[in-house]
Amino acid sequence: MRSSSPARRDRERRFAALAALTLAGFALMVLGLLRLQVAEHQRYRQLSEENRVRLEVLRAPRGEIVDRNGQLLADSYPSFNIVFRPMPAESTERARAAVRPEWLQRVSALVEADTTVVRQLVRVANRSGKTAVLRRNAPSAVLAAVEESRGELPGLEVVVEPLRRYPHGTLAAHLLGYAGEINDRELAARADEGYRAGDLIGRTGVERSFEGILRGRDGAEYVVVNAMGQRVSTLTEVPPRPPVPGRRLVLTLDLKVQRALEEVMGGVRRGAAVAIDPRDGGILGMVSRPAYDPNEFSHGLTWARWKEISGGGSNPLLDRAIQGLYPPGSTFKIVTMIAALRSGIVRPETQLRPCTGSYAFGGRSFGCWKRSGHGSLDLVSAIQHSCDVYFYQLGLRLGLPRLEATARALGLGGRTGVDLPQESGGLMPSAAWYDRRWGGGRWRKGVLLNLAIGQGEILATPLQLALVAAEASVDGRALRPHVVRRLGDGPPREPERPVQTGVAADAAVWEALHRGLQRAVDTGTGTAARVPGIAVAGKTGTAQNPHGEDHALFVCYAPADHPTIALAFVVENSGHGGTVAAPLAGQTLRRLFLPDSLQRRVPVAAAHADTAEVVRGD
Amino acid sequence: MATRLRPPLLDWPMLCAAGMLLLIGLATVYSATTVPGAHQGLWTKQLVWLVLALGAAWVAARFHYRAHDPLAYPLYGLSLVLLVLVLAVGTSAFGAQRWLDLGPVRFQPSEIAKIATVFVLARRLSHPQLDLTRFRYWFPPLLIALVPFALVAKEPDLGTSLAFPVILIAMYYWAGMPVGNLLLGLSPAATLVVAFVLSPRQAPFWVLVGVALVGLLAVLRPRRLLLVTALVLNVGVGLAMPRVKDHLHDYQLRRIETFLNPDQDPQGAGYQIIQSRIAIGSGGLLGKGWLKGTQKALSFLPMRHTDFIFAVLGEERGLIGALTVVLLYGLIILRGYRLAAVARNGFASLMAVGLVSGLFYHVVVNILMTIGWAPVTGLPLPLLSYGGTALIVNCVQLGLLQNVALRRQEY
């Protein structure tokens, strides 16, 4: 062991280095202990004896939501809550004193609440050590009264909290969604994203699908408080961390379009309307009826009000524009026509067997909506007058696979991938689907007749109907519907790739379609959607409904030669598309395309006289 | 094979220091878990663990370390399997998966992996022809340490995972690696950290890294291959970082930031730090007295019986108690390194350095954390904190050190 070979010396040198490192590490610890326990002991003793350090969360406001022109749709504003902060456990006499009748009386009067309610809140707070909110969003008169008497009322305090505000109330309520307090299950599932009890979280609509952008990051600071629980200063050891507000969200929505849709849909009890920009798939407006006011959720709903809103037959929380499923009715003839033309089984001028008011197939008679019959028609006239018999024959010639392929290529039968939560995909039946439902081969070709005119099992959301109209207007190019145009101050977002493929076909196919749909509005079933000076192309639809009156539908796009807007309207249990839904489209388009002076409403009687012959259906 | 214990050759100072620490630990855990709350009465469990741990320590000391030798690789393999299992089916607490549930007990494979890694590294680095400037000698140990490091870091448990590189560096050094080469090897890791904190798009980053690297290379004058490799690695890391950062989502970035600096979150770890500082600081010179701590009683001090046990000690026993514990640890660690210096067998000497360095790392980081000078990373304090796996493994480590002491004169 005493040898002093080079290896031995090297080892001793390395031992000395490790020992020095060890001593350095321990010196650091000793230094830290001396500083805390000797130099700063007095201060920490004081803090410990009175437990005078309190953590205060500085809530970050959620980001604003604005329309494509920067018009405000949702923001946050500071609201003032009156809270009770429980006393430190050491000063229990003071806590007990706080719940004395006199204190209770005065506080209850201040916050305008029942004494029993306040007593219960204070008890729970004292037991759990957590702050209790006695009154949310207190008006300034109440705040002033609290500030005045706070010195005599230990535990009472005013806390600022950002509150969500939707300045237009019910406008675009379903699209915007609302934010609510996070619940225990969400809290457990999203623990590592930094959520805490009491945080707001987007529940539906854009508030939910862009939660990560809108939500800011809460700040915090440690404050030193006096014996009354009132703030004296900020603790210097831990610098306060300011909250980071959520980012701004710019939607594709156009407030002008949205307003027009809201007003036009004002009289509708249940239904939906969607407006899409066919140039990029951006959603310009979206309305669902009945609606609710998301501001109610910001203020906190009572249980009774929540049941009223969420339950019941009409369910205002349901976003019918993306979750409501309706048979497309005759609006589906657009799809059947595209499928027939692109597969080459007919040409625009092809005449099939004349319409006599009904069509016999498989021992059954399938009626046309016009009992007297349309006579001989070519394809363009058939869509203009929405002749069912012509389309029965098209359906039979097409066969299910080709019809289904075209429908799917245009975005039916599956989710469109819109950036909103809980979208429904609808249903486009296939041969396999019928096999599953009825057993292999146990269904008849007769289903094709119904499918070809949009009845039967097909179901689509109003968004899908608007999407089909938009894609038809731009010659079959697939579109990805979306509502968000820009995140924060970033550049406009490229829309994601469409889910569906779109349809490629000759220019002649599209020319025939545009001509037919334009004629449907000019002199066909959809004349109520006419706008002077603007070429409108559209299709009416009436969906039979076993549970009540028919649903009225209408889809259109305008101007027909250079479309800038595609619309879909669904009005539940209201009658025929041509009389109920098409006028809504007409009013909307007039509001958007005509100067104010020309927005005279076409007298209802005139509109009816125009379509007297087709009023009964399509 | 089993030699009789010869009392005179045991490292008595180390043994006594460890015994005192265990007693202090038990008393402090008792104090921390007698207050009403979720962990009330846990100290009885700790007592059972302690008996088991002492038994395990005796076994570790009793049999010649060469008898443990064939176990090195199987144990290492087993611990890696367990670490993968933790990631797959582990029980999580505080946002990280660290435990395996085995019926009534839960245990932390990362503790076992530490001992296994020391064993394997000691075998590798005690190779008779060892030449640490050659790839085939320095690379395998690097891999051996990095695999458990990565698995534990993934849990995520950055605090524990960093013990592996610390052990590796200490053992490299002890095995004779020139200091310059060690620093050069560490430079890409340093660049990575600097690149994450400073933006590599800004000039200060390149100036800082450039000056440090050129200075290092000028002093070392390494062979050309090594020089090029070091340069490429450092510049590569610097160039890649902004791109990697761009591709990360906001929440991923936030996670990495919290991972590197958990007390950024003032409601979580920051809260613990300030409460821990108040507890220790209010203890003063003599402390408030055993069982008389007020901070711990008010549950202001979370994890008071595990990671923050030192805060309870500092509050109740004051500077005197805290310094006593610090000195006892210092004694164990210095005696441990001394043991490595005098042990004649290369394997035993390296093993001692690895074990002691791991211990050193835990003690320093934990205590600095409780006084607010190191990030909150979830490291227990060896011998003092509540926790079965850690207690047993720490006692086994001390048993192995005594094993080396017993046979320090053997070649």
Q: Cβ(B280)–Cβ(A43) under 8 Å?
A: no
Spatial neighbors of B135 by CB under 8 A, at least 6 apart, are: none
Other CB atoms within 10 A of residue B370 CB: 30
Q: Cβ(B131)–Cβ(B138) under 8 Å?
A: no
Cα–Cα distance, A578 to A604 (Å, whole number)? 13
CB-CB neighbors (< 8 A) of B267 in chain A: 55, 57, 196, 218, 220
User: Is residue A30 less than 8 Å (CB to CB) from chain B?
Assistant: yes
Distance between first and last Cα of chain A: 109
Q: Cβ(A236)–Cβ(A47) under 8 Å?
A: no
Spatial neighbors of B240 by CB under 8 A, at least 6 apart, are: none
Q: Which residue among B270, B273, B341 sits closest to A12, beta carbon to beta carbon? A: B341
3-state secondary structure B150-178: HHHHCCCCHHHHCHHHHHHHHHHHHCCCC
Position B39 pLDDT exceeds 80: no
CB-CB neighbors (< 8 A) of A5 in chain B: none
Across the interface, whether the CB atoms of A193 and B353 are under 8 A apart is answered no
Q: Which one, of B13, B67, B27, lies nearest residue B383 by Cα?
A: B27
Cα–Cα distance, B381 to B54 (Å, whole number)? 18
Cα–Cα distance, B278 to B315 (Å, whole number)? 8
Q: What is the pLDDT of residues A384-437, one digit of tens each?
A: 999 999 999 999 999 999 999 999 999 999 999 999 999 999 999 999 999 998
CA distances from A516 to A116, A337, A526, A579, B84 (A): 71, 10, 11, 19, 65
Cα–Cα distance, A98 to A119 (Å, whole number)? 10
Q: Are strands A283-289 and A271-276 parallel, antiparallel or unpaired?
A: antiparallel
3-state secondary structure A444-461: CCCHHHHHHCCCCCCEEC
pLDDT of residue B200: 60
Q: Which one, of B385, B179, B147, lies nearest residue A13 by Cα?
A: B179
Position A613 pLDDT exceeds 50: no
H helices of B37-134, where? Answer: 42-62, 65-68, 72-89, 109-125
Position A92 pLDDT exceeds 90: no
CA distances from B128 to A11, B54, B131, B133 (A): 16, 35, 9, 15
Side chain identity at residue B145, one-letter code: A
pLDDT of residue B1: 46
**Residues A225-230, mean pLDDT to the nearest whole number:** 62
Cα–Cα distance, A396 to A394 (Å, whole number)? 5
Position A508 pLDDT exceeds 90: yes
CB-CB neighbors (< 8 A) of B340 in chain A: 15
**Shortest Cα–Cα distance, B375 to chain A (Å):** 14
Q: Which residue among B274, B294, B371 sits closest to A238, beta carbon to beta carbon? A: B274
Mean pLDDT of chain A: 86
Position A484 pLDDT exceeds 80: yes
H helices of A445-581, where? Answer: 447-452, 462-473, 507-522
pLDDT of residue A608: 44
pLDDT of residue A492: 85
Across the interface, whether the CB atoms of B314 and A192 are under 8 A apart is answered no
Cα–Cα distance, A566 to A283 (Å, whole number)? 10
Q: Which residue among B280, B298, B329 sits closest to A36, beta carbon to beta carbon? A: B280
CB-CB neighbors (< 8 A) of B254 in chain A: 194
Cα–Cα distance, A380 to A358 (Å, whole number)? 20
3-class secondary-structure state, position A132: strand
User: Is residue A57 less than 8 Å (CB to CB) from chain B?
Assistant: yes
Six-digit token string for A51: 């437990």
**Shortest Cα–Cα distance, A19 to chain B (Å):** 6
pLDDT of residue B400: 92
3-state helix, strand, coil in chain B (%, to 5): 70, 5, 25
CB-CB neighbors (< 8 A) of A22 in chain B: 330, 333-334, 337, 360
Q: Which one, of A587, A343, A19, A584, lies nearest residue B338 by Cα?
A: A19
H helices of A190-248, where? Answer: 205-209, 211-214
User: Is residue B338 less than 8 Å (CB to CB) from chain A?
Assistant: yes
Across the interface, whether the CB atoms of B364 and A29 are under 8 A apart is answered yes
Q: Which one, of B197, B171, B298, lies nearest residue B253 by Cα?
A: B197
CB-CB neighbors (< 8 A) of B300 in chain A: 51
What values do phi and psi take at A133, rounded to 5?
-85, 120
Q: What is the pLDDT of residues A353-363, one digit of tens each?
A: 999 999 999 88
- Between the CA atoms of B77, B83, B87 and B90, what dihedral angle is there, to the nearest 10 degrees? 120
Q: What is the pLDDT of residues B221-253, one digit of tens each?
A: 777 777 787 788 888 877 777 777 666 666 566
User: Is residue B331 less than 8 Å (CB to CB) from chain A?
Assistant: no
Q: Which one, of B303, B365, B298, lies nearest residue B329 by Cα?
A: B365
Other CB atoms within 10 A of residue A150 CB: 18
pLDDT of residue B217: 78
Taking the model in full, what pTM does it have?
A: 0.65
CA atoms within 13 A on the CB side of A582: 36
Six-digit token string for B209: 């890294």
Task: Label residue B57 by pLDDT band (50, 70, 90).
Answer: very high
User: Is residue A34 less than 8 Å (CB to CB) from chain B?
Assistant: yes
Q: What is the pLDDT of residues B127-167, one digit of tens each?
A: 888 877 777 888 899 999 999 998 888 777 778 888 999 99
Question: DSSP assignment, residue A237?
Answer: S
Position A609 pLDDT exceeds 90: no
DSSP string, A80-123: EEEEEPPPPGGGHHHHHHHTSHHHHHHHHHHHT--HHHHHHHHH
Q: Which residue among A11, A89, A193 sits closest to B251, beta carbon to beta carbon? A: A193
Question: DSSP assignment, residue A351?
Answer: B
Across the interface, whether the CB atoms of B270 and A238 are under 8 A apart is answered yes
Q: Which of residues 238-257 of A touch B (CB under 8 A)?
A: 238, 241
Across the interface, whether the CB atoms of B266 and A220 are under 8 A apart is answered yes
**Shortest Cα–Cα distance, B232 to chain A (Å):** 31
Q: What is the pLDDT of residues A39-91, one digit of tens each?
A: 988 888 877 776 667 777 888 899 999 999 999 999 999 888 888 877 654 44
CA atoms within 13 A on the CB side of A581: 40
Count how many pairs of residues, chain A against chain B, have C-beta atoms within 8 Å: 136
Q: Cβ(A87)–Cβ(B334) under 8 Å?
A: no
Across the interface, whether the CB atoms of B341 and A44 are under 8 A apart is answered no
CB-CB neighbors (< 8 A) of B262 in chain A: none
A140 tagged catalytic:
no
Side chain identity at residue B198, one-letter code: L
Task: Label residue A167 by pLDDT band (50, 70, 90).
Answer: very high
Q: Which of A288, A298, A330, A381 is catalytic?
A: A330
Position B329 pLDDT exceeds 60: yes
3-class secondary-structure state, position A487: strand
User: Is residue B202 less than 8 Å (CB to CB) from chain A?
Assistant: no
Nearest residue on chain A to B273, judged by CA atoms? A238
Q: Cβ(A75)–Cβ(A227) under 8 Å?
A: no
User: Is residue B368 less than 8 Å (CB to CB) from chain A?
Assistant: yes
pLDDT of residue A616: 40
CB-CB neighbors (< 8 A) of B277 in chain A: 36, 44, 237
Share of chain B above pLDDT 70, in %: 82
User: Is residue B253 less than 8 Å (CB to CB) from chain A?
Assistant: no
CB-CB neighbors (< 8 A) of A15 in chain B: 337-338, 340-341
User: Is residue A222 less than 8 Å (CB to CB) from chain B?
Assistant: yes
Task: Label residue B323 by pLDDT band (50, 70, 90).
Answer: very high
CA distances from B384 to A449, B13, B279, B298, B310 (A): 81, 18, 17, 21, 8
> What Rg, from alpha-carbon coordinates, does chain B have?
22
Q: What is the pLDDT of residues B87-132, one digit of tens each?
A: 877 665 545 556 666 545 557 888 889 999 999 999 889 888 887 7
User: Is residue B347 less than 8 Å (CB to CB) from chain A?
Assistant: no
Across the interface, whether the CB atoms of B341 and A55 are under 8 A apart is answered no
Share of chain A above pLDDT 70, in %: 90
Nearest residue on chain A to B277, judged by CA atoms? A36
**Shortest Cα–Cα distance, A500 to chain B (Å):** 27
Q: Cβ(B398)–Cβ(B14) under 8 Å?
A: yes
